[in-house]
Structure 1
Amino acid sequence: MALGLERAGFQPVALIEIDRQAAATLRRNRPNWPVVEADVRKVDFTPYKGKVDLLAGGVPCTPYSTIGERKGKSDENDLLPEAVRAVREVRPKAFIFENVDGLLHAKHADHVAAALRQFSKAGYATVIERINTRDYGVAQNRSRVLLVGLRRDLSVSFRMPPKFPKMATNMGDAVADLMGANGWSGTGDWVNRMREMAVIDQTGNLIRTGILADTIRGYKGSGHKGEKARWLRNGVAYAPIAKAAPTDEDARTEGFVPCLTNRMRARLQGFPDDWEFVGGIPSVADQIGNAVAPVVAQAVGLAMYSALQGMEFDWEPILTLRHRREIDPPPLAPSTDDITADPGSRIGTRIDLAR
């Protein structure tokens, strides 16, 4: 999220992250970013009041994910109320919270409606939008929900960024060089299979040619029986996570299906290749799987920048050249160098405060 917002021209004021290794990854790649290793449930946000334009975060998805128990507000990891509290205390011009599609399941309707009422009571007009990485050149089918709010007193409106389905690629072309890094002679055939595979909907109609990666998730030791069968049909396995690209010796194993390395997963999530991750295989897998695809955050960030500043962008060139900051707009708010947060507390989700 923070990487994408940086590309959209926002300057981070604070990045609050509970996971020690995830925080180390942020510091490794952006030494000047103000990373606060803390529990958002223990952070006092009031020092930031009036000094932040955009509050953005990924509220933990486990209470709402369709692959979990879907306990919603009964889950100890439910931090939607903390998102509401952060907005109330910071009073940003706008906020963006990302979550899984399961957030909109009927069983969570009352909980989500209560949060929306609280946002409204705090003076924000909030909309719920959907966005998918496949519409922004990422070779992954990853649908997500966004809660987007703007202060009513600003008299501005938010429009979602346009979609660019023609930017789409397939996962074979996306990771071809990484898959063939150890000389696997079947790489070319595998890439062609990924490139030529037909994707059919439930009615038998052709959706597209060229397979996209399944939604990249956090660490998983192995797949269940049904997943393994599907992976075999599609020609790629998502678990266990490979330590290295396949070799010809690996390919001689009965029932061989190439597994993805974390570097492959990171590229399928849209991270630049020079982004360094801190931690072992499980930790890095979680950092990748729990992330917002940077280009999605960039697209939404540009849309928010456009709303706040009344600017229009030539979207496609900016999003295509996604490995560099293509714009460097002036800060939207005064300096917040005098703001501090308690680095000794522990954390629950990441909240990005930007100006």
Structure 2
Amino acid sequence: MKNNHEKSFRAVRSSVELFAGAGGLGIGLAQSGFEPQLVVEHNKWCCDTLRENEGVLAQKVHDGKRLEVLEGDIRFVDFARFDGSLDLVSGGPPCQPFSLGGRHRAYDDARDMFPQAVRALREARPKAFVFENVKGLMRAAFQNYFEYVQLQMEHPEMIAQPDEHWEDHLARLERHHTRTKRPGLHYRVVTRLLNAANYGVPQKRERILFVGFRDDVDARWSFDAGDHSMEALVWDQLYGDYWDRHKVAKKDRKLEGRCLQLSRKLSSEQRPQSKPWKTTRDAIADLPDPRQTRRSSSVFNHTFQDGARTYPGHTGSYLDEPAKTLKAGVHGVPGGENMLRRADGSVRYFSTREAARLQTFPDNYKFHGAWSECMRQLGNAVPVHLAQVVGDSVAQQLTASEVG
């Protein structure tokens, strides 16, 4: 994956977005030139958000056409109409079966939508795909199922038989995968667990990325490691101009958490070659305090939410580190980590706009629903900037394979 974050490959390419959520993955891919022909999502509030922001997700909206957002069950969507015409299929199959905060049921969970993602590949036959999921899928307990998911993506025409147990289907896929001659549709798949902070996102957010290219596409693609690091951030705070940039008084310059631990090991001569991790302060410092804004504020989705408190294991995000992973939650307030932790130990919830900044959504992107619903959408999202980094790289390799 070429490390070229600033450049977007704007040649327009056709795509379909599955399990779109609030649109984080889709926005980043749109910035890389992928034009969605169809967006599929079952949640009403997410669909309202997608329709409200269709001009951000699709260039053709500006040409007088509307973005096709299909609100409903993906199991009833026919993708055969796209047969061979798409450059990309993308999406985030529901991750609850694998989430570290869930019940870890995996293949016994009806919410596992990976089979539908594979069906979309089988019917649409795109040149490439990008799927993402939570890091829980890489838990040791799911090792065989992780292999099963990947082999289904590599060989989408090897369909499970009625009443065939997934382990029996896995065995068939393994035998097919190791054959010398494999007729039909196949993809070459690369997977990696990525920390969004390493790519310039102001949040320590780990996601699994599956990137695949159809066998006839000579992509020669790989992931890179990102060009931002915690070491560079700590060096900037110790010896660089981090505090001066933010006009922080010397008495208030305080390292906390992991940055404080690392600071004891770095000297001024050990300046890293990488860029500093982006911090929560980098992301939200220019926004007014939501406690002092009115609902009529010109800043969209930036109102104060009362009731934040700490409890064991949930202490909020330090201002001068990347934020902890935003969480969607399923019971009441979504997660205990969707909070800002001040130097004095007090906490408050992030506003929707602040959380959107941490997920690198553009400021003109409007979220629909109450605060808890908006935070659920954001807690499930892919950071826009991470999606663009991946999208730029995929687009570049598709172009290279066509002219090479």
Q: Structure 2 length as normaliser, TM-score?
A: 0.61
Q: Distance in 2 between the 1:144 and 1:223 partners?
A: 19
Q: Deviations over 1:124-144 (max 9, x none)?
A: 111111222212322110011
**Mapping of residues 142-181 of structure 1, within 5 Å:** 142-161=205-224, 163-165=226-228, 166=275, 168-178=277-287, 180-181=289-290
Q: Deviations over 1:64-120 (max 9, x none)?
A: 011111111111111111111111111100111100111111222222222322333
Q: Distance in 2 between the 1:67 and 1:235 partners?
A: 26
Q: What residue in structure 2 maps to residue 279 of structure 1?
A: 369
Change in Cα spacing, 1:162 to 1:306, as seen in structure 2 (3 Å) is farther
Report the secondary structure of 1:299's partner residue.
helix
Change in Cα spacing, 1:179 to 1:136, as seen in structure 2 (3 Å) is farther
What is the one-letter code of the residue matched to 1:288?
L
Q: Are the counterparts in 1 of residues 334 and 376 from structure 2 also a CA contact under 8 Å? A: no
What is the one-letter code of the residue matched to 2:79?
F
Alpha-carbon distance, 1:162 to partner: 5.7
Q: Are the counterparts in 2 of residues 96 and 147 from structure 1 also a CA contact under 8 Å? A: yes
Alpha-carbon distance, 1:180 to partner: 2.4
Asked if 1:3 is matched to 2:93, the reply is no
Match of 2:386 among 288, 296, 303: 296
Q: Distance in 2 between the 1:231 and 1:2 partners?
A: 26
Q: Deviations over 1:286-314 (max 9, x none)?
A: 11111111111101001101111119xxx
Q: What residue in structure 2 maps to residue 64 of structure 1?
A: 98
Alpha-carbon distance, 1:182 to partner: 4.4
Asked if 1:45 is matched to 2:79, the reply is yes
Residue identity over aligned pairs, in percent, reads: 35
Q: Distance in 1 between the 2:352 and 2:379 partners?
A: 10
Q: Distance in 2 between the 1:137 and 1:155 partners?
A: 29
Change in Cα spacing, 1:231 to 1:27, as seen in structure 2 (3 Å) is closer
Q: Distance in 2 between the 1:141 and 1:293 partners?
A: 11
What is the one-letter code of the residue matched to 1:49?
D
Change in Cα spacing, 1:141 to 1:179, as seen in structure 2 (3 Å) is farther
Asked if 1:78 is matched to 2:78, the reply is no
Q: Deviations over 1:257-307 (max 9, x none)?
A: 222111111111111111111112222111111111111110100110111
Report the secondary structure of 1:310's partner residue.
helix
Asked if 1:130 is matched to 2:154, the reply is no
Asked if 1:26 is matched to 2:50, the reply is yes
Q: What residue in structure 2 maps to residue 210 of structure 1?
A: 320
Q: Structure 1 length as normaliser, TM-score?
A: 0.69
Q: Distance in 2 between the 1:183 and 1:280 partners?
A: 19
Change in Cα spacing, 1:74 to 1:177, as seen in structure 2 (3 Å) is same
Larger Cα Rg: Structure 1 or Structure 2? 2
Q: Are the counterparts in 2 of residues 136 and 167 from structure 1 also a CA contact under 8 Å? A: no
Change in Cα spacing, 1:235 to 1:221, as seen in structure 2 (3 Å) is farther
Q: Distance in 1 between the 2:352 and 2:149 partners?
A: 35
Q: Which runs of 4+ in 1 moved over 3 A?
A: 181-184, 219-224
Q: Distance in 1 between the 2:86 and 2:107 partners?
A: 28
Q: Are the counterparts in 1 of residues 281 and 319 from structure 2 also a CA contact under 8 Å? A: no
Q: Are the counterparts in 2 of residues 15 and 35 from structure 1 also a CA contact under 8 Å? A: yes
User: Structure 2: which 5+ runs fail to align?
Assistant: 1-24, 56-60, 62-66, 156-184, 229-274, 294-317
**Mapping of residues 93-108 of structure 1, within 5 Å:** 93-108=127-142
Alpha-carbon distance, 1:167 to partner: 5.3
Change in Cα spacing, 1:163 to 1:209, as seen in structure 2 (3 Å) is farther
Q: What residue in structure 2 maps to residue 221 of structure 1?
A: 332
Report the secondary structure of 1:284's partner residue.
helix
Report the secondary structure of 1:99's partner residue.
strand
Q: Distance in 2 between the 1:259 and 1:209 partners?
A: 13
Change in Cα spacing, 1:285 to 1:112, as seen in structure 2 (3 Å) is same
Q: Distance in 2 between the 1:307 and 1:53 partners?
A: 11
